[in-house]
């Protein structure tokens, strides 16, 4: 017969059994009450010397600089930007085409990954520098071309180019930018400036822009090819968005609690463009009236012959087109669906990335692969690099910083991304970008 014996604590004091002679329930309770209470658990009146280190009250700070310092993510900069910017220019930045499905999917693509970290590596020093299109960049990210930038915040391209110069990364001026090629070069004389080109029906005007960009020291020309016609940006339609912004009853009411934006807008030089004379009308009308819907690969050949610097084609959304533009002389491709602002339900660049990377390796091509659309954190950038990108571009992410606080806001956006990237690299167990491989990232569901 098996007998179960309950374990006992040999150090526990012996307590008389209540059922044995001389034992009682009261004796058990009395014994328990005499158990030793640790000194740390005895209640006492707190001393001032104990409370003083805890009472470090800071003076409240409500300045723009303090709010920017407290922002720890690009999303928090977006919240500040939304409070400071009238609805029409904010929605122009924040919105996308039609139902905005493409933009949501692009951001979700970065969320639907799993990092695979390595452990027990020395990650005391992280190097985020890289080479892109023949020159070095301190970070693996540059500022993408954005149109009408001084409409978002009056410092516009000047803030973006100077912040990029300070950070040691490329800045791309858009054909639709609100500062001239020459003024941006003067504002950031030691920066690496690129120029983004939309080919127009008027080739002479396109040629003039190319010559101006070369003369101003731009070493890379980025031609955008996904704007045969304007996308249906419904937020702009609903807001009655025009260039320049119109003072309607709605905008006046909107301005009543965003006076700083309107004060800056009305007291600075009216919006002018990198490549246009003054224009009044909707963004869609401008695109449809000026950009050439008849472009073919022959036009890319003409551009390759005309431009002597590095040539990058932006708006690549299939593997075949990536290969073709390289065959026609491109030094690199930007996998991009225009931030979801053109064709809704377009391919997601992050999902396309591994296929393009594999195709270029099969072709023994050294063309650069640059990725944009959907990036909202430094972890997004590291994931893209691990899956085959050589470089990345940010548009909205830096514009949220610009709208939140001008040049200081752009600086803060870049600081946030750099800190994110450094932390992610360390936790992955790598110290240099060249150590990143596809094994560090798994796309969930695949």
Residues acting as catalytic residues? 338
| DSSP code per residue over 153-211 | STTHHHHHHHHHHHHT-EEEE-TT-SS-HHHHHHHSTTSEEEEEEPPBS-HHHHHHHHH
Distance separating alpha carbons of residues 97 and 260, to the nearest angstrom: 29
Phi then psi for residue 43, to 5 deg, are -75, 145
Distance separating alpha carbons of residues 52 and 126, to the nearest angstrom: 38
- Beta partners for 312? 222, 332
> How many C-beta atoms surround the C-beta of residue 391 within 10 A?
27
Distance separating alpha carbons of residues 245 and 283, to the nearest angstrom: 11
First to last CA, the chain: 57
Per the CB < 8 A criterion, the answer to whether 105 and 348 are in contact is: yes
Q: Tell how far CA 230 is from the center of its chain.
A: 24
Q: Name every residue whose Cβ is closer than 8 Å to that of residue 336 and which is 6 or more positions away in sequence.
A: 226, 314, 315, 316, 317, 349, 371, 372, 373, 393
Closest listed residue to residue 312, CA positions, set 95, 142, 150, 168: 142
Helix (H) or strand (E) holding 192: strand 192-197
> How many C-beta atoms surround the C-beta of residue 278 within 10 A?
10
Per the CB < 8 A criterion, the answer to whether 67 and 78 are in contact is: no
Torsion of Cα atoms, 78 then 80 then 83 then 84, to 10°: -100
Radius of gyration of the chain measured on its C-alpha atoms: 30
Q: Tell how far CA 370 is from the center of its chain.
A: 14
Distance separating alpha carbons of residues 145 and 156, to the nearest angstrom: 12
SS3 label, residue 4: coil
Q: Of how many residues is the chain composed?
A: 446
């Amino acid at each position: 017969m098996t007998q179960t014996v309950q374990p006992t604590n040999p150090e526990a004091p012996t307590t008389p059994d209540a059922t044995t002679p001389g034992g009682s329930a009261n004796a058990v309770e009395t014994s328990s009450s005499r158990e030793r209470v640790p000194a740390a658990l005895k209640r006492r009146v707190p001393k001032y010397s104990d409370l003083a280190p805890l009472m470090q009250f800071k003076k409240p700070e409500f300045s723009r600089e303090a709010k920017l310092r407290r922002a720890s993510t690009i999303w928090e900069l977006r919240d500040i930007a939304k409070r400071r910017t009238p609805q029409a220019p904010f929605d122009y930045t924040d919105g996308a085409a039609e139902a905005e499905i493409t933009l949501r999917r692009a951001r979700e693509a970065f969320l639907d990954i799993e990092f695979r970290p390595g452990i027990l590596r020395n990650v005391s020093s992280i190097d985020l520098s890289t080479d892109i299109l023949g020159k070095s960049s301190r970070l693996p990210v540059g500022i993408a071309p954005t149109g009408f930038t001084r409409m978002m915040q009056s410092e516009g391209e000047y803030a973006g180019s100077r912040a990029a110069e300070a950070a040691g990364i490329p800045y791309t001026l858009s054909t639709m930018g609100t500062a001239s090629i020459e003024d941006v070069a003067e504002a950031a004389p030691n920066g690496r400036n690129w120029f983004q080109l939309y080919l127009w029906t008027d080739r002479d005007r396109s040629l003039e822009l190319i010559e101006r960009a070369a003369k101003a020291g731009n070493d890379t020309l980025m031609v955008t090819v996904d704007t045969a016609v304007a996308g249906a940006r419904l937020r702009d339609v609903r807001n009655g968005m025009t260039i320049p912004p119109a003072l309607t009853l709605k905008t006046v009411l909107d301005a009543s609690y965003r006076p700083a934006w309107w004060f800056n807008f009305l007291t600075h030089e009216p919006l002018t463009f990198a490549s246009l004379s003054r224009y009044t009308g909707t963004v869609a009308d401008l695109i449809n009236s000026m950009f050439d819907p008849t472009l073919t690969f022959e036009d890319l050949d003409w551009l390759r012959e005309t431009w002597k610097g590095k040539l990058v084609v932006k708006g690549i959304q299939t593997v075949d087109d990536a290969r073709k533009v390289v065959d026609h002389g491109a030094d690199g491709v930007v996998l991009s669906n225009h931030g979801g602002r053109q064709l809704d339900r377009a391919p997601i660049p992050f999902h396309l990335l591994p296929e393009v990377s594999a195709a270029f390796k099969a072709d023994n091509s050294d063309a650069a692969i640059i990725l944009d659309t959907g990036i909202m954190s430094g972890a997004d950038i590291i994931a893209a690099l691990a899956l085959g990108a050589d470089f990345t571009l940010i548009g909205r992410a830096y514009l949220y910083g610009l709208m939140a606080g001008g040049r200081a806001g752009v600086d803060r956006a870049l600081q946030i991304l750099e800190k994110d990237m450094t932390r992610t690299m360390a936790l992955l167990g790598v110290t240099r970008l060249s150590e990143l491989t596809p094994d560090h990232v798994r796309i969930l569901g695949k």
